[in-house]
Structure 1
Amino acid sequence: MQKLRANSDFILSVGLIGVFVPLIVYIVTHRFNIFGQIIFAAGIVTLGLYVGLEYQRILRILGGRQVRYGGNAVLMSLLFIGIIALLAFMSQRYSKRIDLTANRSFSISEQTAKVIDNLDSPVKIWAFYLPGDGGQVETLLKSYVARSRGKISYEMVDPDARPTLAQQYGLTQGEVDVLVLERGSRRQKVTGSTESDITSGLVKIARDQQKVVYLLTGHGEYSPDDTSQAGILLAKQALERDNYIVKSLNLTTGVTSTITATTGITVSGSLTGTTATRQFGRIPADAAALIVVSPQTPIPDGEWQVISQWVNNGGKLFLLQDALEGPSGLDDMLLVNWGIRVRNDLAIDPAGSALGDPATLVIQRGGFSPITKDMRSQIILPGARSVEVPKDTTQGTTFTPVAQTSDQSWGETDLANLNAGVRYDPTKDTRGPLNIGITVERDAPGGAKARLAIYGNARFVTDRWINSGANLDFFVNTVNWLTEDEQLISIRPRPPAQRTLFIPPTDANVISLGVVAGLPLLVLGLGAIVWWRRR
């Protein structure tokens, strides 16, 4: 007993270490495994042994003057520590993040929120990053976890430390900076680290089947294969991020099922059929939508018959047609079957234009539509024509204007003299507001819904314009609506804003001179002043 009492201070140190080390590990890792529990229990027993050995010393210390006078300070310190601990606990259970960055860099977009809310099963995200490289993506993943309410979890993995796990999830040797999303038995590999990349991966893994949209070709339409600013590669990539498969469709080449145009067909009072036989392809059965982007030559009669049949049976058609171009070839179909007329004019809006050009429209109004209801930015439409809808609609058909000009606008019809200036002519021009984009829905056989989106502008989807204003959302939301994917309609994540500080050469020289000569001279001047005063 005397030997134990002689080593009581050491016993106290061991007991304190045994108690506090497991507690600190638990606070840091939120884990309290069996090994930590054993150490904690041993620490408690050791502290009990110390109390049994030195109880008289403890009583004497507790009854001393310093303890009595210092009790108040100890009590206040414990109260302060308790308040801090309570705040820490509350912050863990009820956290609230506030993003004060200009472009909301640390906040998820509305589309991401909708995708997360629509998840029907848990998703585990494996982040394969080297230590020290995954800080930014981990911050973003925490935003996903916070929104998901338990639907999403993540784990940071060092692929060098755990090569077997990396290989199990499809990574090659040396491959890093990769996310693997896992939902049940399905996996989706994501090589990017932006919100757009992660959300696109979530959309893909959440869907059990990809929908296919077709781009009509063969008439000089805008093409995703065109890598210039006049191409629509970015539009195609945006659809693919929403988990669509985008394919090209040429109705005049090698498709098995055919329609033979051998009989006369009356269209707008004119006989267009001939006795010559020509075969046209069909629209594939897996087509969720057909997109026609500004054909430069009219679509032949036989092709629009194929399209008309398909739409009337529940198909979804998206026609975009610029001003100052000829007819699309679908004009007769739209007028006869739907009562829609795409006017041959140029929309002019002095009250809603951009870049000093009254023909570059800034759209701020439209009917209530799921396509535009959440948009906070404006739609920029360069060189648009107006779309006329029938005054009397048939039962079961719904027309919705989604993009309209202001009351001060008009449809300029003197297109041959635009260089001389534009002026409203009440005898020829249509006074605004003008419909630039409309959607139409009609009941089809078998309980299906035929849907149309007719926009008097196509340039806004080109690579030159698609990232202006809300153009990207306007285009992709329209495809979402056509394919009955309304749950995807939202505001999409934007790429990180690149803010470049440009310093003119004169200012750069002044700054350099100030750093190289100004600061040393300032220090010398201050030193001289101090020396002079102490002299």
Structure 2
Amino acid sequence: MQSRPPPFRLSGLMAVLGMAVMAIGLITMLLLAEIRFVAWGLLALGAILLAFALIMDFRRVSATLTRRQGRLRFGTSVMASIFLAITILANAISITNYQRFDTTSLGQFTLTDQTKDMLAALREPVEALAFYEPGDPIGSYAANLLTEYESHTNKLSHRVIDPVVHPDQARRFGIGQFPAFVFQSQERRRVVLPQDVIVLGEEAITFEVEHPFSSALLEVTEVAQKKVYFLTGHGEHDINSDYRLARKGLLDDLYLVGTLNLITAPAIPADTAALIIAAPKTALSGSEVQSIDTYLKSGGQVLILTDPDFPDGLNQIVSAWGIDLENGMVIDPASNLAPRKDTPVVSLNRNAFGLPTTYFPGAIALVPRKEMPESVGARPLLVTSTSSWLEKEYNPSVEPTFDEGKDVKGPLSLGILIAAPPPAGPPDNKTTRLVVIGDSDFASSQHIVNVNNGDLFLNSVAWLAEETQLITIRRNVLPFRQLVVDPSQANFMRFSSIVLLPLLVLLIGGIIWWRRR
């Protein structure tokens, strides 16, 4: 007759098996959260096996626990079990209830308020595909940002695809440059390429991801975007050349940007959120002035940027709203971009948008009339210092001096905000808004990236379009950060991580063992 195995051997086998099953369950829960119900089942099975092992060998266990050494081991086991239970419970809770904290210096993983609002308003599912090779800094950052997007909506999901491992999927979307990102809904698709996220500055290359992603989401979900037009046909700044960065800033703020020629277009489109007149060199025709005046009187929004020696037509437009353009050159000896006294600097306390520093290379003055038209409200946007004046006969080769009786003493208005109910149409029409700034070069690609010049331009458009939240939110441009080390430093980093750290652990362990010995 075959003898039955001793109970303690069977109980020991069940105990080992129970701990193994619980370990597998814990690993499954940590690594495969999507099948956590299986993990919970394994943990429960392991606990049952351990309970049966304890019951089957209860006498031996109780005898062991009566000894001092047994009690110490039991106490250690209980503490380890409690720690393990707390870890499992915390992990289970964090799967469905978690909070992300952005501790980066630039807040690079924190979404802007308009993006959060846009995500909350998504009504159809969107899938994002991120094509990049492992280790790509832009791709890694973008994937992390997409995870942040997903935390604000259940309508967005994303996958990371290695184009080297899966080149067929990249070819399917016609992608040949990486990193690239595809946003697709049921009916629409948008591909974001490297040139859409890389910003080429004068001194460094940076990248900006959030606004291209948000713009792509708006496009594939067919959410209407506000339209901004630049007037053309009179030698204005070109949005594909010296106003290229101004155009990109508007695109980043989720506007649609186009050009408008009032010689060929019958009228200003009704869906225009803002019309920008950026320093025309030749005169506007009577019909163009009439079109702009009609648009303003119907509740339109216009941004006028002008320089010294402005052409005919501009003064006619703004004078109807109680403002006169005063030709000349603003000189500010007390607050300027040294050594150029003809480049006044406007500081925080003289800027209605609260921007710390803006400057204007070659500006004229704006003069509000003493008696403004009825219901028209004018507010200074930019004001020079009390030491400034308007040089009426400016000669760049001669040191400017104030001439009493000829020049205009400061402080002077370089920018003015105008708001009024539209004279034409019912009272429920949009408010007429007009921004006039006596300089256009501050928004050129040469100057818009400096200090707060870009913020001034974009805030002016946001004020016109009544996007007040954009006045306090600007794009989050992130620089490339590269760690440069010489060969000796690289060898030290490699040696310290592979050899020194393990030796340090062994040393600490040896000291503890020696003291307890």
TM-score (norm 2): 0.76
Corresponding position of 2:146: 141
Structure 1 residue 57: Cα displacement:
1.9
> SS state of the match for residue 342, structure 2?
strand
Corresponding position of 2:202: none
Structure 1 residue 18: Cα displacement:
0.9
Deviation track 1:382-425 (CA, whole Å, cap 9, x = no partner) reads 1111111123334422212222212222212122x332111122
> SS state of the match for residue 397, structure 2?
helix
Structure 1 residue 2: Cα displacement:
2.9
Cα contact 2:25–2:41 (8 A) shared by 1? no
Out of 62, 81, 89, which is 1:59 matched to? 62
Corresponding position of 2:292: 307
Structure 1 residue 10: Cα displacement:
3.1
> SS state of the match for residue 419, structure 1?
coil
Out of 358, 376, 380, which is 1:401 matched to? 380
- Taking a change above 3 Å as real, the CA distance of residues 161 and 458 of structure 1, as seen in their structure-2 partners, is closer
Corresponding position of 1:177: 179
Identity %: 27
- The answer on 1:19 being equivalent to 2:19 is no
> SS state of the match for residue 465, structure 1?
coil
Out of 236, 239, 264, which is 2:250 matched to? 239
Structure 1 residue 341: Cα displacement:
0.6
Cα contact 2:389–2:408 (8 A) shared by 1? yes
Corresponding position of 1:463: 445
The letter for the 2-side match of 1:443 is P
Matches within 5 A, 1:333-482: 333-335=317-319, 337-365=320-348, 372-373=353-354, 375=355, 377-415=356-394, 417-444=395-422, 445-446=425-426, 447-482=429-464
Corresponding position of 1:277: none
Equivalent pairs, count = 464
> C-alpha separation between the residues in 1 aligned to 2:321 and 2:302?
13
Cα contact 1:461–1:475 (8 A) shared by 2? yes
Cα contact 2:126–2:183 (8 A) shared by 1? yes
Corresponding position of 1:97: 101
Cα contact 1:119–1:151 (8 A) shared by 2? no
Corresponding position of 1:113: 113
Cα contact 1:291–1:319 (8 A) shared by 2? yes
- The answer on 1:326 being equivalent to 2:310 is yes
> C-alpha separation between the residues in 2 aligned to 1:365 and 1:301?
39
- The answer on 1:215 being equivalent to 2:230 is yes
Cα contact 1:342–1:385 (8 A) shared by 2? yes
> C-alpha separation between the residues in 2 aligned to 1:71 and 1:42?
22
> C-alpha separation between the residues in 2 aligned to 1:174 and 1:497?
24
Out of 261, 285, 306, which is 2:270 matched to? 285
> SS state of the match for residue 342, structure 1?
strand
- Taking a change above 3 Å as real, the CA distance of residues 125 and 329 of structure 1, as seen in their structure-2 partners, is same
Q: Give structure 1 stretches of 5+ with no counterpart.
A: 256-280, 504-510, 516-535
> C-alpha separation between the residues in 2 aligned to 1:440 and 1:27?
60
> C-alpha separation between the residues in 2 aligned to 1:174 and 1:304?
47
Cα contact 1:125–1:179 (8 A) shared by 2? no
Cα contact 1:341–1:388 (8 A) shared by 2? yes
- The answer on 1:39 being equivalent to 2:17 is no
- The answer on 1:157 being equivalent to 2:160 is yes
Corresponding position of 2:201: none
Structure 1 residue 54: Cα displacement:
1.9
Corresponding position of 1:520: none
Q: CA RMSD in A?
A: 3.9
